[in-house]
């Protein structure tokens, strides 16, 4: 299988705080990889390095065959249009309504679409996350979980080849979290997307991920499938599963 | 050694200029690609600033008239009052107070807004989706402000004159038509070159 994301020997430090220390992994097409780790261990930083919101200090990142660190701004945008990124806090544009949030994403990337098609697409995406009734609301009028779901809808709307989920279910009730997890699986099956799922929510991880990695002290501590890691007696791993 | 340093700073200088040119070009492009956002920003900026500009201009017009009146009266030149006020207001005070108010009010508002957008990762989200946040967020606001400040200045001038008219009327009744015709008569005088230069400043 061809890898869609390849990361080699990634190092990132903020001043003296060495957050990522020699991270390497491959994400293959159609694979759902979960990344686990304690709060503040650098999971979000890793995800942001992959889309180059943060420039790493050392290492190599290839996404969809392109060397991310060598691209100029225009080429980088081309690659980014094929990656969906769901931010930990949702990052909805709070001066726009839900509908405008979704439209904005589409209009920026696929300009040739006509109005009726766009409307259909927006409604379909919102229906997918069960939020059709909130289409004219402002982000400030939504609950935390609703914001998350809108953020998911906003990313799914342009059917990216790779989706990076930064804690997609954190802060949601178990039922909604389960729905989001199912949504992740649905999308993955329907469009054969590859996903990088950063999460503490073990139920979500169990449902969605076919490969798990655990970060401690800036590098991968261990990796494997759910079944492999679940068996482990290592206290560092045990804590996540019990 | 020294040569190298000079080269480097020259290089920096030119790349800085290049960046400025690119920034300006991007802004120009953005003007056409996000008209709705532009109108929205223009609306917000106008509505937020208008009351402030109106109140300040009104008070300034009144005060200017009240302060100048006794002096002009001493010289027996009370009839020149509308002309004097209109020249000084329209050519100098109106635009200056509008610009200052806008700088204070709008820029601090934009600053706070951008700060909030940065913290909640909205700017990152735009960047990841292939939009240059600088273009979309900053350029629309800059362009909207550029168009609105002259409009606001015009309104400020009108309100300032109104204030001046009212304060003249507190002493002696004067018809509005007479006031306006006197005010605009004195504006009709051709600008001396030195005046034009001063308005550039
Ligand atoms: N822009 C930045 N500048 C300086 N330090 C940063 C920056 N971003 C992150 N860090 C540091 O990097 C470390 C990892 O942060 P990160 O956000 O990746 O944590 P995380 O693993 O995502 O945690 P959580 O599960 O709570 O989201 C933290 O110690 C943080 O202080
Ligand atoms: Mg995080």
Terminus-to-terminus CA distance in chain B, angstroms? Answer: 42
At B75 the three-state DSSP class reads: coil
CA of B11 to the centre of ligand 1 (A): 36
User: Has residue B35 got a pLDDT over 80?
Assistant: no
- Protein residue whose Cα sits closest to atom 28 of ligand 1: A40
Q: Give mean pLDDT, residues A189-201.
A: 86
Q: What integer pLDDT is reported at residue B47 of this predicted model?
A: 86
User: Has residue B56 got a pLDDT over 90?
Assistant: yes
Domain residue spans of chain B: 31-200
Most confident of A57-61, A87-91, A141-145, A155-159: A57-61
Q: What integer pLDDT is reported at residue B191 of this predicted model?
A: 57
Most confident of A110-114, A127-131, A193-197: A193-197
Mean of all residue pLDDT scores within chain B? 82
Q: Give mean pLDDT, residues B18-45.
A: 75
* Disruptive mutation site among A76, A107, A108, A151 for chain B (greatest number of B CBs within 10 Å): A108
Q: Which ligand is nearest to the CA of B124?
A: 1
Q: What integer pLDDT is reported at residue A172 of this predicted model?
A: 79
Q: What integer pLDDT is reported at residue B34 of this predicted model?
A: 66
Q: What integer pLDDT is reported at residue B69 of this predicted model?
A: 87
Nearest by CB to residue B130, choosing from A48, A81, A89, is: A81
Of B184, B129, B192, B66, which Cα lies nearest the Cα of A160?
A: B129
Dist CA B65 CA B160 (whole Å) = 10
User: In this structure, are strands A162-166 and A83-86 parallel, antiparallel, or unpaired?
Assistant: parallel
In this prediction, residue B201 has a pLDDT band, given cuts at 50, 70 and 90, of: very low
Q: Which protein residues have a CB closer than 5 Å to ligand 2 (ion)?
A: A 44, 88
Which is more confident, B130 or A154? A154
Task: Give how far Cα B30 sits from Cα of A78, A104, A123, A137, Å.
Answer: 19, 14, 28, 27
In this prediction, residue A82 has a pLDDT band, given cuts at 50, 70 and 90, of: confident
Residue B146 C-alpha, separation from nearest chain A C-alpha, in angstroms: 21
Q: What integer pLDDT is reported at residue B185 of this predicted model?
A: 81
In this prediction, residue B32 has a pLDDT band, given cuts at 50, 70 and 90, of: low
User: Has residue B2 got a pLDDT over 70?
Assistant: no
CA closest to A77 among chain B residues: B130
Q: Give mean pLDDT, residues A36-44.
A: 88
DSSP chain A: --EEEEEEEEEEEETTEEEEEEEEEEEETT-EEEEEE-TTSSHHHHHHHHTTSS--SEEEEEETTEEGGG--HHHHHHHHTTEEEE-TT----TTS-HHHHHHHHHHHH-TT--HHHHHHHHHHHHHHTT-GGGTT--GGGS-HHHHHHHHHHHHHTT--SEEEEESSSTTS-HHHHHHHHHHHHHHHHHH--EEEEE-S-HHHHHHH-SEEEEEETTEEEEEE-HHHHHH---HHHHHHH-
Mean of all residue pLDDT scores within chain A? 86
User: Has residue A138 got a pLDDT over 80?
Assistant: yes
Q: Give mean pLDDT, residues A163-169.
A: 89
- Protein residue whose Cα sits closest to atom 8 of ligand 1: A45
Domain A1-82+161-176+193-242 has CATH 3.90.180.10: no
Predicted complex ipTM exceeds 0.85: no
Which is more confident, B159 or A148? B159
Domain residue spans of chain A: 1-82+161-176+193-242, 92-159
User: Has residue B7 got a pLDDT over 50?
Assistant: yes
Q: Give mean pLDDT, residues B176-190.
A: 80
Q: What integer pLDDT is reported at residue B28 of this predicted model?
A: 66
Ligand 1, from A11, A38, A41: best to mutate by most atoms within 8 Å of Cβ?
A41
Binary contact (A88, B129; C-beta < 8 A)? no
Q: What integer pLDDT is reported at residue A110 of this predicted model?
A: 61
Ligand 1 binding pocket includes A122 (Cβ within 6 Å): no
In this prediction, residue B193 has a pLDDT band, given cuts at 50, 70 and 90, of: low
Most confident of A147-151, A167-171, B37-41, B191-195: A147-151
Q: Give mean pLDDT, residues B55-71.
A: 91
- Count Cβ atoms within 10 A of the Cβ of residue B162 and give its class: 0-12 exposed, 13-18 middle, 19 or more buried: middle
User: Has residue B173 got a pLDDT over 90?
Assistant: no
CA of A87 to the centre of ligand 2 (A): 9
Binary contact (B120, A83; C-beta < 8 A)? no
In this prediction, residue A197 has a pLDDT band, given cuts at 50, 70 and 90, of: very high
User: Has residue B1 got a pLDDT over 70?
Assistant: no
Q: What integer pLDDT is reported at residue B200 of this predicted model?
A: 46
Per-residue pLDDT tens over the stretch A51-78: 999 989 989 999 998 888 888 888 888 8
- Is the Cβ–Cβ distance between A152 and A142 less than 8 Å? no
Q: What integer pLDDT is reported at residue A35 of this predicted model?
A: 92
User: Has residue A235 got a pLDDT over 90?
Assistant: no
């Amino acid at each position: 299988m061809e890898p869609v994301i390849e990361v080699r020997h990634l190092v990132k430090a903020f001043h003296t705080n060495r957050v990522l220390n020699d991270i390497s992994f491959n994400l293959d097409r159609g694979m759902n990889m979960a990344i686990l780790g304690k709060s503040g261990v650098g999971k979000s930083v890793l995800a942001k390095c992959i889309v180059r919101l943060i420039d790493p200090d050392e290492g190599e990142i290839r996404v969809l065959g392109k060397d991310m660190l060598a691209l100029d701004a225009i080429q980088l945008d081309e690659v980014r249009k094929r990656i969906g990124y769901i931010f930990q806090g949702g990052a909805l544009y709070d001066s726009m309504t839900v509908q405008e949030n979704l439209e904005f994403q589409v209009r920026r990337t696929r300009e040739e679409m006509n109005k009726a098609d766009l409307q259909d697409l927006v409604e379909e995406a919102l229906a997918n996350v069960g939020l059709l009734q909130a289409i004219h609301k402002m982000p400030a009028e939504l609950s935390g979980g609703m914001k998350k779901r809108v953020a998911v809808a906003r990313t799914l709307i342009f059917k990216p080849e790779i989706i990076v989920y930064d804690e997609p279910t954190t802060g949601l009730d178990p039922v909604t979290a389960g729905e989001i997890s199912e949504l992740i699986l649905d999308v993955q099956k329907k469009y054969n997307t590859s996903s990088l799922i950063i999460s503490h929510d073990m139920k979500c991880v169990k449902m969605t991920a076919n490969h798990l990695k655990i970060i401690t002290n800036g590098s991968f501590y261990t990796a494997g499938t759910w079944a492999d890691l679940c068996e482990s007696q290592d206290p560092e791993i045990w804590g996540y599963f019990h | 050694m020294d040569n190298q340093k000079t080269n480097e700073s020259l290089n920096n200088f030119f790349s800085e200029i290049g960046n400025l040119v690119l920034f300006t070009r991007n802004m120009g492009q953005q003007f056409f690609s996000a008209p709705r956002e532009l109108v929205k920003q223009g609306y917000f900026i106008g509505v937020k600033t208008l009351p402030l500009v109106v109140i300040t201009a009104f008070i300034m017009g009144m005060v200017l008239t009240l302060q100048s009146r006794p002096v002009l009266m001493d010289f027996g030149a009370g009839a020149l009052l509308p002309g004097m006020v209109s020249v000084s207001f329209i050519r100098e005070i109106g635009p200056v107070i509008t610009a200052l108010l806008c700088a204070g009010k709008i820029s601090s508002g934009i600053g706070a807004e951008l700060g909030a957008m940065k913290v909640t990762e909205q700017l990152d989200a735009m960047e990841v989706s292939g939009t240059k946040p600088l273009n979309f967020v900053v350029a629309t606001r800059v362009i909207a402000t550029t168009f609105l400040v002259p409009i606001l200045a015009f309104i400020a001038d009108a309100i300032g004159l109104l204030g001046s008219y009212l304060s003249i009327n507190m002493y002696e009744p004067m018809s509005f038509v007479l006031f306006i015709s006197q005010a605009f008569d004195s504006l009709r005088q051709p600008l001396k070159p030195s005046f034009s230069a001063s308005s550039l400043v």
